[in-house]
Structure 1
């Protein structure tokens, strides 16, 4: 005789403990960073500020 497993509870019905001080979700995911997109994380902002034209003040 085959044993029938009960269906798994949907994700919406899963209990979640909200009593701790931990954050449920990070403010920024790894996919939302330069590294997540495969880009380099170093910037050249400092060089651009030093090389700005004189009329920029």
Structure 2
């Protein structure tokens, strides 16, 4: 008999393994998302610095 926690853990591990196997095939998409994340982070930092200038 499985407890709900075991079932959830099993589902999570299967999802995790599936996402890993997919990411190996779709490297470009992963790289694109990384680059987009970097760009967004840089823009966000610039925005924060700009607002700091106006606040001070």
TM-score above 0.5, yes or no = no
**TM-score, structure 2 length as denominator?**
0.29
Q: Which has the higher contact order (CA 8 A, sep 6+)?
A: 2
